[in-house]
Structure 1
Amino acid sequence: VTRARPSANQMCPLMGLADCAPRCPRLPNPLPTHLRGCWGSPCKWGIRASDGVGRESDPQESVKQLRTRHRRILESIYKDSGSDFLIANSTAQCGTAPLVSALKTSAQQAVVCFHFPGHNRGKASPPALSQLVGLGAFVHDLPELPELDDLFTPKGVILDAQKKASELFGSSETWFLVGGTTCGIQASIMATCSPGETLILPRNSHISATSGMVLSGAVPKYVIPEYNSQWDIACGVTPLQVESAIKELAEDGKKAAAVLVTSPTYHGICSKLSGIAEVCHSHGIPVIVDEAHGAHFKFHPGFPSTALEQGADLTAQSTHKVLCSLTQSSMLHVGGTLIDREHVGRCLQMLQSSSPSYLLLASLDAARAQLSENPDTIFDEAVILASETRKEIEAIPGISVLSSSDMFSSFSDIDPLRVTVSVSQLGLSGYEADDILAEEHQIISELAGTRSITFAINLGTCGEDIQKLISSIKHLSATFFKKNRSHPCMEDGVTGAPFADVHMSLSPRDAFFAKKRKVDIWRSIGQVSGELICPYPPGIPVLIPGEVITEEAVNYLLHLRKKGAMISGAADRQLSSVVVCDR
């Protein structure tokens, strides 16, 4: 393979990186003499197509030889210039983030590697991905080297990073998760519920709760969440509902092993966890909270109280949602004395990869360090922007914004950064409006529903983003409100999510492992579901393994599909058939 002299717009012939791209600002400028080439503009790393000593490269030199030489130049820059161009975090933050600092130091070592992964610190990185994300991700994609500690028996930098997170979030102990909050919920259920024991939980719990029951063998005692038909949104559960469920079990001679609550919900609606914790603790029952959407609550006085502040025993948070770690990274926090922490650790070891990504782990440490710099004010601007967004959108004809006054009196707290708008008066479903905003206005929402769209404000949101969102919704209103004023969005006779009539014939675990068959969806009514089917997002199942299929559930699923919802878990994507359990 030979290489011709590159033109100004060609890709870098050495590593496939874009030629003539702007030089990385962290590189020394100008480059040291021994790193300068004699022709061609520098690639994105600031390196010319030269061997670094002023001699033009041999046109007959193979691509492999060129890449080898280019790699040596990169290593020379990395070693000699003192540049941090491959480091994503600033030196200042590295000093307060022990795992980030250790990862940086390890990646800078001048070592010859005979360990995994096979890209060998970026030396053999797939060009398609290195062009997209750069070499930095590969250089720092390291395995569990001695200096980087062990996720499952931490004694060094991971332990230090987790302790700093525990102190910041107010827990007794914190675990880093590389399997998302899904992993945290599964581990929490496994750590508190043995096979055959009962777990009290809302019927609108996330899919991870169902998989946690399959793994643990727990049997569900469902609490039906309060439901707002105007918005087609399920709320949380109340202390009274939880207390009633505990009493019903006691009448049958049973005791709940744990209670799981989702707070906040995807729409930001919060349950009164302090009351639920008081009820549960009076019976010696631990409280698990799926707090995936509330990891930021501790960092502004205008946010609802955190689950730990309200007495939760275990709470799983998606640090990657409103906070700033990488997707799939989360934290699990423990409080109180009802939880066997060693058992939680064993469960996490079973569920998490034995080769955890240090990019994910370091991102958790970095996100914690970012919050620690100014924990009391970091969300000030985001809260102001969210408040202004609500006020301006509420004034748009045909549009309404979800607020605590729309919910029942039992749910007075709502996340101010979660802005949910109703579009039903425009004659549109949330799915239809979401498509229009994405295709015509390049506005990407967090969640679309049958009657609403939800937008998530975060630390990266700026005023320009908000103005574009508002102008786009105004355009929706101007286009559809007058046209459909007398014909608001009709719901085809479907009145809401089918959570009111739940009957379990088998436990989720027994149903998961039972023999199954496919039947026509209309013939499935009255039979036992053998699969978990849910719209995603939000990931709340409509059918759960072991649950008797109702006509309401079938109608709701077909209604969601007609409206354009993404349905996951079904073996038949067209929903013409359903998998049921043989009896």
Structure 2
Amino acid sequence: MATCSPGEFLILPRNSHISAISAMVLSGARPKYIIPQYDFEWDIAGGVTSSQVEQAVKELEMEGQRAAAVFITSPTYHGICSNLTEISQLCHSHGIPLIVDEAHGAHLGFHPQLPSSALQQGADLAVQSTHKVLCSLTQSSMLHMSGNMVDSERICRCLQTLQSTSPSYLLLASLDAARSQLSENPDTIFNRAMELAFEAKYWIKEIPGISVLDLARFSNFPAIDPLRLTIGFWQLGLSGYEADEFLCRDHGIVCELVGNRSITFAINLGTCRDDIQRLIFGIEHLVGITAPIDGEKGYGEFNVYTPFADIKMSLIPRDAFFASKKKVGIGGSLGKVCGELICPYPPGIPVMIPGEVITEKALEYLLDVRSKGAVITGASDTSLSSIVVCNV
């Protein structure tokens, strides 16, 4: 809202968080989507490259349009970081502000082996969910601003529109406490967490039948957050949901994110060596009762498409949100214009967005992940027997 007026274009990756879609409903911005790099074996989306942003800018210019802002998620939930230095330089050369969803990166820049923060790389606005990695209370977050490309007074007006006039001083105090904790020893506070993260990855990589995500899978990007640990179980013939259920039920281990073929853990200031040892023991126990599958792909056939690769937008999110709607059976929804935001959660990345034409691949993907244990959010019918569509 502080950068895009109704009808103006916002360049953003298609795997942006649902909050970005809600922001387009409020602002009336028109999305210009970038399809992120996708690793099909892991079933994980990566970041966005500067060449992709440049291509999106040029495509709009060829249509006689201009982007009002560029919105990038970095790091992703899995810790994959885009090259924000290149992207910010590109944006600024076109007079376009760069907004970064840095929800999972409030700790970046506070250790020599951590990637640089969004502001350090030239972003104009960076939104951080301070509670995700640092020690503030859940729901508390910060909006950081740098430079003068974005109107600070307009930001204040937008905040007045969206925020409560009775803020929680518990949340505000927790943000100040998190800031104070960092300021006391900013160069060494993550030493212990980094040590535990490297230790965990070293030992887990040694376990037969287990895969650990590393930057080699996303070589087009400069860094992956070393405090994110993503583990694949498909060589054991298990989905991420099945592995997560076992670790939680038998060892009391709760992951940060469960996916179709992997689970992700966040190592932070509260993590101790006992936590790491319990995780290693739990995985070893799982491997011990589930022999690796030799000579096969393991768990299922991995997807050969992204769930949002063949999108076709019929209405912008705001128009679709306010359009008249009806509920139809899932079999009759194909080719209709989606009227609700549907996504597996976590991580909260929509597979269907209001205004997009419903495709067979998107339906297949949703039904597949739901059958394997994913929680479907946003849909009025979480069983996906029916879908809300727009009357257009």
Residue 405 in structure 1 maps to residue 200 in structure 2: no
Q: Which amino acid aligns with 1:424?
A: W
Q: Is the 8 A contact 2:91 2:97 kept in 1?
A: yes
Q: Is the 8 A contact 2:235 2:292 kept in 1?
A: no
The residue correspondences of 1:125-144 to structure 2 (distance < 5 A) are none
SS, match of residue 275 in structure 1: helix
Instruction: Work out which of the residue numbers 494, 500, 505 in structure 1 matches 2:314.
Output: 505
Gaps of 5+ in 1: 1-189
Q: Is the 8 A contact 1:272 1:410 kept in 2?
A: no
Q: Is the 8 A contact 2:103 2:128 kept in 1?
A: yes
Cα deviations by residue, 1:522-578 (Å, 9 ceiling, x for unpaired): 221111100000111101000000011111100000011001001100011110111
Q: Is the 8 A contact 2:235 2:293 kept in 1?
A: no
SS, match of residue 236 in structure 1: coil
The structural deviation recorded for 1:466 is 0.5
Distance 1:569 1:421 in 2: 27
Residue 471 in structure 1 maps to residue 281 in structure 2: yes
Q: Which amino acid aligns with 2:207?
A: I
Residue 554 in structure 1 maps to residue 363 in structure 2: yes
Indicate the residue corresponding to 1:417 in structure 2: 227
Indicate the residue corresponding to 1:313 in structure 2: 124
Indicate the residue corresponding to 1:522 in structure 2: 331
The structural deviation recorded for 1:286 is 0.3
Instruction: Work out which of the residue numbers 382, 387, 390 in structure 2 matches 1:573.
Output: 382
Distance 1:405 1:485 in 2: 23
Name the larger-Rg structure.
Answer: 1
Q: Is the 8 A contact 2:233 2:261 kept in 1?
A: yes
SS, match of residue 295 in structure 1: coil
Distance 2:151 2:292 in 1: 60
Change (3 A) 1:269 1:468: same
Distance 2:343 2:180 in 1: 36
Distance 1:413 1:358 in 2: 36
Indicate the residue corresponding to 2:391 in structure 1: 582
Indicate the residue corresponding to 1:339 in structure 2: 150
Q: Is the 8 A contact 2:247 2:282 kept in 1?
A: yes
Q: Which amino acid aligns with 2:307?
A: P
SS, match of residue 320 in structure 1: helix
Cα deviations by residue, 1:204-252 (Å, 9 ceiling, x for unpaired): 0000000000000000000000101111000011000000000000011
Indicate the residue corresponding to 2:16 in structure 1: 205
Instruction: Work out which of the residue numbers 256, 262, 268 in structure 1 matches 2:67.
Output: 256
Q: Is the 8 A contact 2:40 2:303 kept in 1?
A: no
Indicate the residue corresponding to 1:357 in structure 2: 168
Cα deviations by residue, 1:263-294 (Å, 9 ceiling, x for unpaired): 00000000001111111111100000000000
Cα deviations by residue, 1:495-537 (Å, 9 ceiling, x for unpaired): 3432211111001000000000111112211111000001111
Change (3 A) 1:487 1:406: closer
Instruction: Work out which of the residue numbers 75, 92, 111 in structure 2 matches 1:281.
Output: 92
Cα deviations by residue, 1:5-50 (Å, 9 ceiling, x for unpaired): xxxxxxxxxxxxxxxxxxxxxxxxxxxxxxxxxxxxxxxxxxxxxx
SS, match of residue 299 in structure 1: coil
Indicate the residue corresponding to 1:65 in structure 2: none
Instruction: Work out which of the residue numbers 237, 240, 248 in structure 2 matches 1:427.
Output: 237
Cα deviations by residue, 1:39-77 (Å, 9 ceiling, x for unpaired): xxxxxxxxxxxxxxxxxxxxxxxxxxxxxxxxxxxxxxx
Q: Is the 8 A contact 1:397 1:481 kept in 2?
A: no
Distance 1:551 1:198 in 2: 28
Q: Which amino acid aligns with 2:235?
A: Q
Instruction: Work out which of the residue numbers 536, 541, 550 in structure 1 matches 2:350.
Output: 541
SS, match of residue 578 in structure 1: strand
Q: Is the 8 A contact 1:210 1:508 kept in 2?
A: yes
Gaps of 5+ in 2: none
Distance 1:298 1:483 in 2: 41
The structural deviation recorded for 1:485 is 7.0
Distance 2:390 2:86 in 1: 39
Distance 1:311 1:426 in 2: 43
TM-score by length of 1: 0.66
Change (3 A) 1:282 1:443: same
SS, match of residue 517 in structure 1: strand
Cα deviations by residue, 1:319-346 (Å, 9 ceiling, x for unpaired): 1011000000000000122010011011
Distance 1:413 1:317 in 2: 18
Residue 295 in structure 1 maps to residue 106 in structure 2: yes
Distance 2:252 2:75 in 1: 28
Indicate the residue corresponding to 1:15 in structure 2: none
SS, match of residue 109 in structure 2: helix
Indicate the residue corresponding to 2:299 in structure 1: 489
Indicate the residue corresponding to 1:373 in structure 2: 184
Q: Is the 8 A contact 2:43 2:303 kept in 1?
A: no
The residue correspondences of 1:224-235 to structure 2 (distance < 5 A) are 224-235=35-46
Distance 1:200 1:544 in 2: 16
Which structure shows the higher strand fraction?
2
Distance 2:166 2:190 in 1: 34
Q: Which amino acid aligns with 2:157?
A: R
SS, match of residue 192 in structure 2: helix
Indicate the residue corresponding to 2:256 in structure 1: 446
Q: Is the 8 A contact 1:263 1:291 kept in 2?
A: yes
Distance 1:487 1:246 in 2: 40
SS, match of residue 191 in structure 1: coil
SS, match of residue 535 in structure 1: strand
The structural deviation recorded for 1:412 is 2.8
Cα deviations by residue, 1:297-338 (Å, 9 ceiling, x for unpaired): 021010001100111000000110110000000000001220
SS, match of residue 382 in structure 2: coil
Change (3 A) 1:461 1:485: farther
Q: Is the 8 A contact 1:521 1:577 kept in 2?
A: yes
Indicate the residue corresponding to 2:56 in structure 1: 245
Indicate the residue corresponding to 1:460 in structure 2: 270
Identity %: 66
Q: Is the 8 A contact 1:195 1:217 kept in 2?
A: yes
Distance 2:334 2:296 in 1: 36
SS, match of residue 506 in structure 1: coil
Q: Tell me how many residue pairs correspond in the alignment.
A: 392
Distance 1:226 1:533 in 2: 21
